[in-house]
Amino acid sequence: MKKGLLIVLPTILVTAICFLLPTFVSSAVTPVSFLYPTQTNVSTGVLATGRLEKQMQVDVTPDFPVVIKEYAVYPGDTVEAGDVVAYVDVVQTKEMLLTLAQTASIIPEEYKDVISNISLDESVLSSVIPSAIYASAGGTVLSTGVFAGEVASTTDTVAVIARGEELVAILEVDESEVESVEVGDRVIIKASATGSKQYGGLVAEVAPAAQQVLAGTQQQTVVQVRAVLSSDAKELRPGYSVSAEIQKKDAKAVLTVPYEAVLQDDNGEEYVYVYESGRAVRHNVVTGEEFADCVAIVSGIEEDDILIGEASLIRRDGAFVTQKEAS
């Protein structure tokens, strides 16, 4: 009896294993979806802020320090070269210059060269003080500067005249980033006045010198970049404040994968699972720029690697996997 049992028992075990083996194998092999990394073209952007101006603007400044009596034009008026922009208060100007002459120690630097060339006699002053300030070019008056009754020095802008219709953005780029900006780079611009709407443009000029500006309570060194806007910016106005992203022409290709393909361990190390000979093998990666539905992989995988799409399904490094059947 025992001998017969010994003969039958292996048969029973083999039969049981044959029945249970498919169940064991299916539970040990995880069905997953496979994917390849995607080549995505990205361009690095330089952020900047600034203001809008007409492309051809002329600043009207006096040739002689004067007191403005009244303006002959207003913003929006059209002028020709030689038209009167503002009238000069000759009496007030004369008194201002005579007062300055009596207090020579406090004469502003910009007046000294002018005053030193004339005799400060009332009769002489009457002949040299201009009666008006004239437009140096034709166009549309965008703004007036010095208020009536105030002194306009030879460096003050009395009026700004626009000679063309195209708008330009005068952008301030931080000195640490300006070396990557070139003429011809594409610019995406947003104006505070028009919300989230975007406008296109091209970099037309990068200033040859930097300048200091006040950013909050600190000085910042910036370089002005002039960008010409496209013709579809009709609702924009000169003087609007803008923000911009200057995009590079030479976009570079990076490998990207869906977010669900990337995991992070307790030490903060990011990794993916790569399909190798039926197994899911862990590859540590370095991620880069993030996009709406994927992330760039800087290093750790190759373009022809087969990745596990649902990385969270893998319980251990080297686990057996199989391709999930299409639903």
| Section 54-72 average pLDDT | 87
Which one-letter DSSP state was computed for residue 325? P
- H helix runs in 56-174, sequence order: 90-102, 109-116, 122-128
Count other C-beta atoms under 10 Å from residue 180's C-beta: 13
Which one-letter DSSP state was computed for residue 266? T
- For the entire predicted model, the pTM comes to 0.44
As a residue count, the chain comes to 327
Pick from 75-79, 111-115, 133-137, 302-306: least confident:
111-115
Q: Taking 60 as the threshold, does the pLDDT of residue 191 lie above it?
A: yes
| Section 14-19 average pLDDT | 50
pLDDT value of position 132: 93
pLDDT value of position 317: 94
Question: What CATH class is the domain 46-54+164-247?
Answer: mainly beta
pLDDT value of position 25: 44
User: Beta strand 270-276 with 263-264: parallel, antiparallel or unpaired?
Assistant: antiparallel
Q: 124 in helix, strand or coil? A: helix
Q: Taking 70 as the threshold, does the pLDDT of residue 105 lie above it?
A: no
CATH topology of domain 26-42+252-323: 2.40.420
Residue 207 near residue 259, CB atoms below 8 Å: no
Q: Do domains 26-42+252-323 and 46-54+164-247 have the same CATH topology?
A: no
Residue 298 near residue 288, CB atoms below 8 Å: yes
Convert the pLDDT of each residue in 269-326 to its tens digit.
999 999 999 999 999 999 988 887 889 999 999 999 999 999 999 999 999 999 887 6
Q: Where are the domains of the chain?
A: 26-42+252-323, 46-54+164-247, 62-157
258 falls in which pLDDT band (50, 70, 90)? very high
